[in-house]
Structure 1
Amino acid sequence: MASLGDDLLVHSGFPTNDRDAVFFGPDSYRFVNFVKREVPSLSNVRSIVDMGAGNGAGGIAVARLLDGARITLVDVNAVALAMAATNAAAAGVDANLLEADCIPDNVDLVMANPPYIVDDKRRQYRHGGEMFGGAVALGWVRQALEKLSPAGVMLLYTGVAFVDGRSPLLAEIAQECRAARADVTLTELDPDVFGRS
């Protein structure tokens, strides 16, 4: 169990070696702080999707900030959704649960903290796929651009690999947003978290 504000949240025990482990660690806190900082500036949010919700921490925090909005916690991991259901119930948050890898149609806010590491064991909570770990994030951005309501917003918290001073993920996201005529804003939170020399 971990504490987050006044909440106690269940998650997998450490070390999180199982393929379907439900990780909760420093990035989880950063993600929650990020969405809590950004959400107050949004208006007319009636439906929220926490994509790759894990144990539900982010969705629970945002549901409290947007009283009356419908929250859906989406994850491909059934173990994660069971933990998210427990955590939401303990927090008094009414949440829909969806075991899937797709964003439902016509949502106002998609928030996501996708896996972004290239993991040899391909554990769901860690492995971000091709593009130096950015493939999952890019796939979710593409889905959001198709599924968001006309004034919808996506809050994406992810690690970004740079190779020779360039990020393939950021370049692809910018291209997708230009094609969809969507605005994109980038904020760097923690430079070089996993840097190696």
Structure 2
Amino acid sequence: MTTTYTPATAATAPSASAVAALLRLGEALKELGYRFTTVTPATHLRVNRRSANASARDLRDVFGWSRPFRPGVLPDRLMELLDAGGALERDGGVYRSRVRFSSYDDELFIHSAFPTDAADSVFFGPDTYRMADAAVAHVQARTRPVGRAVDIGCGTAAGAIAVAKRAPEAEVLGVDINDTALRYAEINVALAGVNRVRAVHSDLLSGVDGAFDLIISNPPFMIDPGSRTYRNGGGPEGNELSLAVIAAAADRLAPGGSLVLFSGTGIVAGRDPLRAAAAARLTGTDLTWTYREVDPDVYGEELDTDAYRDAERLAVVVLTATRAG
């Protein structure tokens, strides 16, 4: 480990070269045994505010906690890959990584550094773990194989990759409107070595054809005054994207196919507006469905904002809908 590395000042590397460098960075981290569990933004902020955590001291601090670091913390090789990937930020003699790497299901996933303020941020956190776990549980409980699956709003493609690992014969698509997410999804697919997952630019299912045996989704579900793509669920209650996913599934599920939707909702005076709207959307279809709260009280800090001034709690939920067949 040296302290002499100086980041390049030339123009940003071509996109293909940058993606290749970030893939090699992920491979290097895997070889080094790097692991990190990503927490909620509120917990991340609290932990980083501790005085002892002002600067990074190791790989987890740099690539997990997104802490600033000085020369010598990372080996030159990792610095070079960060720089070649367009992900090394410099402020005087202090550096930051513009990407994070998180662990799930014995894989590493690249995603956006903390804080995820940019419109094209690619989020990974506790909801990613919950959504992918729900998808895996459904695949393992199915009595018929999955031939074709899609992850709507795939982000890092964690859900798509988890499904592909349990459905070895399936064609799996990860669709998103965020080009940054699609680039990261391609890197994550390569890191996992699951070549049957394909990242596709698509608004819901408008950019892909055919029916699906399995549709999974963890769409944005927050009421976000900033209208950030990765966070804003749309509509006055943040539920419009979730309802749009339900409608897309009603149109495109194959006989015997299922939707596994992981979402969230603000509970107002004991009423769940997402459940009520989902019931109305599913009435008259040939889909049978279940709905359950996975966690009844999450993101409590949002209750202090004007957007959730009428909510008594925020819950995360899983809706499963299945077509007869």
TM-score (norm 2): 0.59
**Structure 1 residue 131, shift from structure 2 partner:** 4.0
Hey, what's the Cα distance between the residues in 1 that align with 2:236 and 2:137? 29
Equivalent residue in structure 2 for 1:82, among 166, 183, 189 = 183
Partner of 1:17: 117
**Structure 1 residue 143, shift from structure 2 partner:** 0.7
Hey, what's the Cα distance between the residues in 2 that align with 1:82 and 1:190? 31
Hey, what's the Cα distance between the residues in 2 that align with 1:174 and 1:44? 28
**Structure 1 residue 83, shift from structure 2 partner:** 0.3
| Aligned-partner SS, 1:183 | strand
Equivalent residue in structure 2 for 1:147, among 239, 252, 267 = 252
Equivalent residue in structure 1 for 2:160, among 46, 59, 62 = 59
Partner of 1:28: 128
Q: Which of these two proteins has the greater Rg computed from alpha carbons? A: 2
Residue 109 of structure 1 contacts residue 153 of structure 1 at CA under 8 Å; is this kept in 2?
yes
Which is worse superposed, 113-122 or 155-164?
Answer: 155-164
Hey, what's the Cα distance between the residues in 1 that align with 2:266 and 2:228? 19
Q: Which runs of 5+ in 1 are unaligned?
A: none
Partner of 2:77: none
Where is the strand percentage greater, Structure 1 or Structure 2? 2
Partner of 1:135: 240
Say yes or no: does 1:102 pair with 2:204.
yes
Q: Which runs of 5+ in 2 are unaligned?
A: 1-100, 304-311, 313-325
Residue 131 of structure 1 contacts residue 168 of structure 1 at CA under 8 Å; is this kept in 2?
no
Residue 105 of structure 2 contacts residue 162 of structure 2 at CA under 8 Å; is this kept in 1?
no
**Structure 1 residue 161, shift from structure 2 partner:** 2.1
Say yes or no: does 1:71 pair with 2:172.
yes
Higher relative contact order, chain-length normalized (CA < 8 Å, sep 6+): 1
TM-score (norm 1): 0.95
Residue deviations 1:87-114, cap 9 Å, x none? 0011111212211112243111000001
Partner of 1:4: 104
Residue deviations 1:75-134, cap 9 Å, x none? 010100000001001111121221111224311100000100011111111100114111
RMSD: 1.3
| Amino acid corresponding to residue 50 of structure 1 in structure 2 | D
Hey, what's the Cα distance between the residues in 2 that align with 1:3 and 1:44? 27
